[in-house]
Amino acid sequence: MYADEGRRGVLHVEFTGYVVSVKRIHRLVRLITILHGGQAGSTDELAQAMGVSRRTLFRDLQLLKEAGIPHYHEPGKGYRIGQSYYLPPINLTVMETLGLLLLGKTAAAQRHQPLMADALSAVSKLLTSVPDPLRDACSDIMENISVDPGSRVQDSTELAHYVNLQRCIDDHRVCAITYMGPTQTTPLVCKFEPYAMHFAARAWYVLGKTDQHDDVRMFKLVRMQKTAVTDERFDPPKRFTVEDKIGKAWQLIPEGKLYQVELEFTPRVATNVAEVRWHSTQSVRRRKDGSCIVQFEVDGLAEIAWWICGYADQVRVRKPKQLITRVSEMLQQAWQQYSNS
């Protein structure tokens, strides 16, 4: 088994001849755990414990079989895994232990995010295999390291929606959703075929098609009012990726037209700007006076215009003219708000 970055940057794992998406790994590990503990008797009970359909369950069981993980069905007792099978011991180096501890701190700081609490639990279990002296020494080092996750969504319902939508993606189930966008006066109630999850701009999004739109739409989970897994199935596109939808948008929303953007940042902020990779097309040219010229090729101007305005008088748009006009109008409107107060 080995990990690789597959087509269009999607991480996959080569698993005895199968290419398995990383998002399915946690389900397979859970399946192994249930089989080890003998927690499910019938096929229906095991599928219910996993939260999947019978078809998905049989597919996962076949994958375990191909991987050489022995399991069987014992009449009257249910599904079991061979008692001789154990996960191989894990030998962690000092740097690997420190890395896990850092991940643990990151997960702890973001435990409100979907799966972060589970990640923290997994890290804790892995660290139990580390000898006490090494673990204690690394813990002492980590006491002087802090993690600030920054701004975050303040809504506990995001996790429940994430679980429902991820189940629909894995099992190709239609999801019934009620969604209220920021400009809507009434909620959108529809059937939704989710294709992929995407985390960006401090929040989770889901991409897919509704029964009311012809194109792929993106919905923010925190704006979901209701999500419900249905028994209805759908056939997902074979080669859909998030990048296909977002393309070269500055953040999330492409507008269908590419622009060559050139910005000039003052010496006061140039270093901070140049240190961050803001966009995949970014190029930076430092100047002797400490300023810098930054170039991008972006799809649409609305999102990048808001970002530029955040730098106020420390940035100047050099091109295109459409962006110069847009940013100028936005700053003039801001000035009017303050001059009238």
Of the two residues 82 and 166, the one the predictor is more confident about is 166
Mean pLDDT lowest among 55-59, 69-73, 160-164, 214-218 = 69-73
Residue 134: per-residue pLDDT: 73
Residue 2 confidence class, pLDDT cut points 50, 70, 90: very low
276 plus 237 within the same structural domain: no
Count: domains in the chain: 4
CATH number of the domain bearing residue 242: 2.30.30
Distance of CA 137 to the CA centre of its chain: 32
Please tell me the distance from the alpha carbon of residue 317 to that of residue 313, in angstroms, as a whole number: 11
Please tell me the distance from the alpha carbon of residue 311 to that of residue 309, in angstroms, as a whole number: 5
Classify residue 261 as exposed, middle or buried by CB count within 10 Å of its CB (0-12, 13-18, 19+).
buried
- Residue with tokens 């009311």, as numbered in its chain: 212
118 plus 164 within the same structural domain: no
Q: Which of 36, 58, 81 is the last residue of a domain?
A: 81
- Extract the tokens encoding 270: 């140039």
Mean pLDDT lowest among 138-152, 245-259, 304-318 = 138-152
- Extract the tokens encoding 287: 């100047």
- Residue with tokens 């999500």, as numbered in its chain: 227
Q: Which domain holds residue 214?
A: 157-246
Mean pLDDT of 283-297: 97
Distances (CA, A) of 300 to 10, 140, 341: 25, 48, 33
**Helix spans in the chain (H):** 25-37, 43-50, 54-66, 94-109, 116-127, 132-142, 157-171, 242-246, 267-274, 302-309, 321-339
| Most confidently predicted of 139-143, 158-162, 298-302 | 298-302
159-202 pLDDT, tens digit each: 889 889 988 998 899 999 999 999 999 999 999 999 999 988 77
CATH number of the domain bearing residue 329: 3.30.70
pLDDT of residue 147 exceeding 80, the answer is no
292 plus 323 within the same structural domain: yes
99 plus 71 within the same structural domain: no
pLDDT of residue 239 exceeding 50, the answer is yes
pLDDT of residue 6 exceeding 70, the answer is no
Mean pLDDT of 274-303: 97
On whether residue 122 sits in a domain, the answer given is: yes
pLDDT of residue 133 exceeding 90, the answer is no
pLDDT of residue 223 exceeding 80, the answer is yes
**Are 204 and 162 contacting, i.e. CB atoms less than 8 angstroms apart?**
yes
On whether residue 308 sits in a domain, the answer given is: yes
On whether residue 148 sits in a domain, the answer given is: no
pLDDT of residue 235 exceeding 70, the answer is yes
Residue 330: per-residue pLDDT: 96
284 plus 211 within the same structural domain: no
DSSP letters of 167-178? Answer: HHHHHTEEEEEE
Mean pLDDT of 83-111: 71
**Are 40 and 73 contacting, i.e. CB atoms less than 8 angstroms apart?**
no
Which residues contact residue 302 at a Cβ distance below 8 angstroms, ignoring those fewer than 6 apart? 253, 255, 326
DSSP letters of 34-77? Answer: HHHHT---SHHHHHHHHTS-HHHHHHHHHHHHHTT--EEEETTT
Residue 47 confidence class, pLDDT cut points 50, 70, 90: confident
Angle at 217 between CA 211 and CA 219, to 5 degrees: 105
pLDDT of residue 62 exceeding 80, the answer is yes
CATH number of the domain bearing residue 19: 1.10.10.10
- Extract the tokens encoding 225: 């009012």
Residue 128 confidence class, pLDDT cut points 50, 70, 90: confident
10 plus 58 within the same structural domain: yes
68-77 pLDDT, tens digit each: 777 777 776 7
Average pLDDT, the chain: 82
On whether residue 87 sits in a domain, the answer given is: no
Residue 90: per-residue pLDDT: 67
Mean pLDDT of 216-224: 94
